[in-house]
Structure 1
Amino acid sequence: MELYFLGTNAGVPTLQRNVTSIALRLLEERRSLWLFDCGEGTQHQILKSPLKLSKLEKVFITHMHGDHIFGLPGLLSSRGAQGVTLPLAIYGPPGIKSFIETTLNISQSRVPYTMEIMEHTGGVLFEDDSFRVEAAKLDHRAESYGYRIEEKDLPGSLDLKRLEAYGLKPGPLYGKLKRGESVDLGGGRWIHASDVLLTPKKGRVVTILGDTRPCPGVESLSKGADLLVHEATFMDDLTELAHEYYHSTAKQAAEAAERAGVKTLFLTHFSSRYKDIEHLQPLLKEAQQIFENTRLAEDFGLYPIQRRS
């Protein structure tokens, strides 16, 4: 599981940073790609990256502001032009269905794959044997949501010493035990999976927030997350401006991470007044004074999400 940032700027693109889009790579977990927001130029950023539209399985939109959705019609059209047939699920706030259908219809764009557009107002949006995705409302000028992606726990590894003591050698029976099944050794002897499986591997939790001021939804979505992506449009000296425009400061993002007990905080959605990575260092320093394990998201930055021990 890895995060790949395609755009980290707020409002408009600059020469250094594109507007918001984040990819969650699940190549080992389900051989697919999930996209969170799709600002203008996102498909161009993908062309410069190792990501492939043929792997794109789901798109999650946080809110309907242009710097988060203007790249979507072009990306959907290009995905079809590349001959991709994999169905695509799109989740977003009310209005996303009308936006997509109107722009594709007016532009006569051809989409040769099945596309399901699901508008929501929060709650559990998706769940299968491996993942659960939940959304909650944030505090922004437009109806904005954050997403909590929970990977379900995986079975622990087989205890090879115990298996050897039972006289079992590697083979099909190992697979049955790994799947949680019991094995008949004959003569009334059985091995149950619980006898030979080590501690389950805890699933990872990733929280990706849309634009927001500090609010209860931030903490509920972020609680105990392995990785939190939080907007940091301004520094603390512009707290009043941040509040007026329904945004957060780097300090407020760090305070949220500290309260929620997350493992790693990534700051993103930076105002254009902070022109390059050098000008962003004060934001990083401000946040690290409160939450040490804070990092700056960078365009084309790839960040593995490690399991907690």
Structure 2
Amino acid sequence: MELWFLGTSAGMPIRDRNVTSIALTQNDGTFWMFDCGEGSQHRLLQTPLKLTKLTKIWITHLHGDHVFGLPGLLSSRSSLGGTEALQLYGPPGLRELLETSLRISETHLNYPIHITEIEAEGAIFEDANVKVEAAKLDHRIESYGYRIEERERPGVLNAGWLAEQGLPPGPVYGQLKAGQDVTLADGRVIRSVDAVGESLPGRIVTILGDTRPCANAVKLGRGANVLVHEATFAHALADKAHEYGHSTALQAAQIAHEAGARRLLMTHFSSRYTREALAELETEARQVFADADAAIELTPYPIPL
């Protein structure tokens, strides 16, 4: 899994920063997007990610700097030969936004889109590998954060010990890895619990939309390997941040600290801050949370097990 920031600017793009969008690669070679500000598909062209491999889009809220890139991106995915269904999640109003823009522009897609408007907080998607939870944040309009939690993974197979037991590599290794005991030809039973180490915890990635500091930000970020939190302003402008429904870098760090996250990646920076000025936001955040960074666009951030 890797995070790619396709845009880290708040409100409008500037010369070296686009508006908000984040890509999260999946273990099967596909990827998800979180928000899709204007120009997001242009940023994708500067990454190794292929639009036809996009399977899900998660929208945090419907402010323009988070959604104005959607119609064009959906159209390009079709033009590039995408045929697999695309699932979109977001606040109420997402369906009207998309269906209206596609209808008026007479945009015809070669694949189905399935839109899920969030009706209640909690788990909104689950499969065999991952669970995604959503919760409301504190912004001027309805805004959500998402917690992506991997399932536990089987432990490491002790191949050396199995070889000592006279069991060569083969299909039985897969059975043991899957939790099944194996009976050998001589009647001995090799137990999975003896052959496989302890289960490995899954990774947790929390991506928050625009928000003031709030309890749900801490809840969604609890124990996260990576917490993505907006840091629109330096703390000297805390009053302005609160007025517009945003957070400061220091407040983002306080949320990460309270949540017990391992790493904080800050994004959604006001256009007043140049690339050089982002170092000041990092310094501010690190007063409270040492592993805090201002996200750099088009740079992969691996999420190790």
Decide: shared fold, TM above 0.5: yes
The one-letter amino acid paired with 1:48 is: Q
TM-score normalized by the length of structure 1: 0.96
The one-letter amino acid paired with 2:62 is: M
* 1:189 CA displacement: 2.5
Equivalent in the alignment of 1:303: 301
Stretches of 4+ aligned residues off by more than 6 angstroms: none
The one-letter amino acid paired with 2:280 is: P
Q: Deviations over 1:46-83 (max 9, x none)?
A: 12221110110000000000000000010001101111
Equivalent in the alignment of 1:255: 254
Q: In structure 1, the residue corresponding to 2:277 is in which secondary structure?
A: helix
What is the distance in 1 between the residues matched to 2:167 and 2:188?
A: 13
Equivalent in the alignment of 2:218: 219
Q: Deviations over 1:108-167 (max 9, x none)?
A: 001110210000032211111111110000000010000000011110111123212321
* 1:186 CA displacement: 3.5
What is the distance in 1 between the residues matched to 2:147 and 2:213?
A: 17
The one-letter amino acid paired with 1:239 is: A
The one-letter amino acid paired with 1:112 is: N
Equivalent in the alignment of 2:278: 280
Unaligned runs of 5+ in 2: none
The one-letter amino acid paired with 2:38 is: E
Equivalent in the alignment of 2:24: 24
What is the distance in 1 between the residues matched to 2:30 and 2:193?
A: 31
Equivalent in the alignment of 1:105: 103
* 1:30 CA displacement: 1.9
Q: In structure 2, the residue corresponding to 1:67 is in which secondary structure?
A: helix
What is the distance in 2 between the residues matched to 1:124 and 1:159?
A: 35
What is the distance in 2 between the residues matched to 1:177 and 1:109?
A: 51
What is the distance in 2 between the residues matched to 1:193 and 1:100?
A: 50
What is the distance in 1 between the residues matched to 2:137 and 2:99?
A: 26
Unaligned runs of 5+ in 1: none
The one-letter amino acid paired with 1:12 is: M
Q: In structure 2, the residue corresponding to 1:201 is in which secondary structure?
A: coil
Q: Which of 79, 86, 92 in structure 2 is aligned with 1:81?
A: 79
The one-letter amino acid paired with 2:150 is: E
What is the distance in 2 between the residues matched to 1:54 and 1:166?
A: 47
Equivalent in the alignment of 2:15: 15
What is the distance in 2 between the residues matched to 1:230 and 1:285?
A: 16
Q: In structure 1, the residue corresponding to 2:44 is in which secondary structure?
A: helix
Equivalent in the alignment of 1:6: 6
Deviates more, 1:103-112 or 1:192-201: 192-201
* 1:288 CA displacement: 0.6
Q: Deviations over 1:1-44 (max 9, x none)?
A: 00000000000011110000000011xx1221000000011111
Equivalent in the alignment of 2:55: 57
Deviates more, 1:163-172 or 1:143-152: 163-172
* 1:187 CA displacement: 4.7
The one-letter amino acid paired with 2:263 is: T
Deviates more, 1:247-256 or 1:116-125: 116-125
Deviates more, 1:229-238 or 1:194-203: 194-203
Q: In structure 2, the residue corresponding to 1:40 is in which secondary structure?
A: coil
Equivalent in the alignment of 1:119: 117
What is the distance in 2 between the residues matched to 1:253 and 1:66?
A: 23
Equivalent in the alignment of 1:190: 189
Alignment of 1:30-179 (within 5 A): 30-121=28-119, 122-179=121-178
What is the distance in 2 between the residues matched to 1:53 and 1:59?
A: 12
What is the distance in 1 between the residues matched to 2:262 and 2:35?
A: 23
Aligned residues: 304
The one-letter amino acid paired with 2:283 is: K
* 1:272 CA displacement: 0.5
**Aligned-CA RMSD value:** 1.0
The one-letter amino acid paired with 1:281 is: A
The one-letter amino acid paired with 1:103 is: S
Equivalent in the alignment of 1:208: 207
TM-score normalized by the length of structure 2: 0.98
Q: In structure 2, the residue corresponding to 1:278 is in which secondary structure?
A: coil
Deviates more, 1:173-182 or 1:240-249: 173-182
